Structure 1
Amino acid sequence: NPLYNFWNRSFTRCAPEIEKLFDSVARSCGGPAVKAVDDSLVSGPISDNSH
């Protein structure tokens, strides 16, 4: 979901193992591999510190 801008979150790339994990999960769910989302698709910013 581009609204959440998930692939641009810093935690998705904090370690190679984490990046591989997210890539594997995305592929197994039929989603795209880890990649940046086009900013034009995001309706508003969500702070990386909102968790």
Structure 2
Amino acid sequence: MRAVQRSGVSSLRGIAIALNDRGIRTARGGRWQVSNVRNLLARNVRELDR
């Protein structure tokens, strides 16, 4: 996900599309949705705050 962001994609929808286009699956083997991206980014921010 960070590589996608570094390539200039900043919207949640754009990140989801880029991950799906690259064939990267979610932890459960599904396709990326906006909600998956939002939740993962929020989780990472909370972990950094610890």
Bin for the TM-score computed over the shorter chain: 0.3 to 0.5
Alignment TM-score, normalising by the size of structure 1: 0.36
Alignment TM-score, normalising by the size of structure 2: 0.37
Which structure has greater helix proportion?
2
Determine which structure has greater relative contact order: mean sequence separation of CA pairs < 8 Å that are 6+ residues apart, divided by chain length: 1
